[in-house]
Copies of this chain bind each other. A is one copy, B any other.
């Protein structure tokens, strides 16, 4: 049985206050006594009860990161970044995986209002229904969103990555690669991230002035299976020049479906994903993707959280820029459709 402060006090015939002071390096206790307390604490195998400590002091040494899908490598990468940033400020991280389930998300938020964590970084969208189920006033200072936009009205703090810009970069890149008929394979239709990436794509195609046009938009979940199914539906009608998947997982699903149809990714169809997870650089033909600045997102989120907790209520929303990473899945297509004509000209 874990020893308590009271047992230590009893053994030494001193008061619990003295023991507490001794153990916490607070003034008001002699050096000799401090050593005695330390020693018996070690002997008894004393471990402080965080619950009791948190109950009275109101402070908890943990912050939580809520992710929707731990299986999607993007989130472990984010977790790593957040963890490092948190460690730098002396806090450690616990990870909550919701599996895209609303009850788990609500539970995670409750974790915050029940003061089990000092702060929460949430990396998935919060809709009105969820927000209704928690006390916003209580929760709002101690919560920062990462990579998702704050719902309107709520003064929630967030650090965003510019999805529209990412989509734009992809759009321009695809036009440069010589793609004309472009398909977008989206995430859930209600996801702002997915919508913004599509919007960006449209803008990117527009400003590139190419004859490019988006020929199809589909929707589903953020999974490989959804990518596969959407590609399947897509191929019934047409074979586009290029496919932009709102997600690397989707992109991989799309790729699987393309391969099944004997369509060579990068040759027959250009393919781009989003998140630049490690796996897209390893696939049979490496997939072009948009890298999110996870390290910055993590450190900024932790920083903002720290400010909020220390009273600076100035919710300095931040928005970072992603960057396109071009790989064979589009470059090869480019070689065939852009350089090849030139070569033909030269010949």
Interface residues of A (CB under 8 A from B): 1-2, 45, 47-52, 54-55, 64, 70-71, 73, 76-77, 79-80, 83, 92-97, 99, 104, 107, 110-111, 113-116, 134-135, 137-138, 252, 278-279, 282-285
Asked if B135 and A2 sit within 8 Å, CB to CB, the answer is: yes
Distance to closest chain B CB from A256 (angstroms): 9
**Contacting pair B97 A138 (CB below 8 A):** no
Q: Please, which residue of chain B has its CB at the minimum distance from the CB of A255? A: B282
Chain B residues with CB under 8 A of A135: 2, 45, 47
Inter-subunit contact B92/A95 (CB<8 Å): no
Contact of A95 among B70, B77, B80, B278 (CB under 8 A): B70
Give the most central of A71, A77, A285: most B CB within 10 Å: A71
Q: Which 6 A-B pairs have the closest CB atoms?
A: A95-B95, A45-B135, A47-B113, A70-B76, A51-B51, A284-B284
Given A70-B80, A79-B70: A115 in contact with B283 (beta carbons within 8 A): no
Assess whether A80 is in contact with B71, with CB atoms less than 8 Å apart.
yes
In the complex formed, the residue of B with least CB distance to A284 is B284
A1 engages B138 (CB within 8 Å): yes
Q: Is the CB of B282 within 8 A of A252?
A: yes
Distance A85 CA – B134 CA, assembled complex (angstroms): 27
By CB atoms of chain B within 10 A, which of A51, A93, A99, A279 has the most? Answer: A51
Which listed residue (B51, B55, B115, B282) contacts A279, Cβ 8 A? B282
- By a CB distance below 8 angstroms, the chain B residues around A83 are 97, 99
Which residues from chain B contact A49 at a C-beta distance below 8 Å?
Answer: 55, 114-115
Residue of B nearest to A117 (CB): B94
In the bound complex, residues from chain B placing their C-beta under 8 Å from that of A284 are 282-285
A138–B47 contact, CB under 8 A?
A: yes
Question: Which listed residue (B54, B95, B138, B278) contacts A51, Cβ 8 A?
Answer: B54
Whether B79 and A47, one on each chain, are in contact in the complex, defined by CB atoms closer than 8 angstroms, is no
Taking a contact as CB atoms under 8 Å apart, the answer to whether B47 and A110 are in contact is yes
A79 near B50 (CB under 8 angstroms)? Answer: no
From A65, which residue of chain B is reached at the shortest CB distance? Answer: B95
Provide the bound-state CA to CA distance between A98 and B1, in Å: 26
Whether the Cβ atoms of A45 and B138 lie closer than 8 Å is: yes
Q: Are A94 and B92 closer than 8 Å at their CB atoms? A: no
| 7 pairs, A vs B, C-beta closer than 8 Å | A2-B113, A47-B135, A70-B80, A71-B77, A73-B76, A94-B94, A252-B282
A132 to chain B, nearest CB (A): 11
Q: Which residue of B lies closest to A64 (CB)?
A: B94
Measured CA separation A107–B1 after assembly (Å) = 19
Are A50 and B104 in contact (CB-based, < 8 A)?
no
Q: Chain B residues near A115 (CB, 8 Å)?
A: 2, 49-51
Whether the Cβ atoms of A76 and B71 lie closer than 8 Å is yes
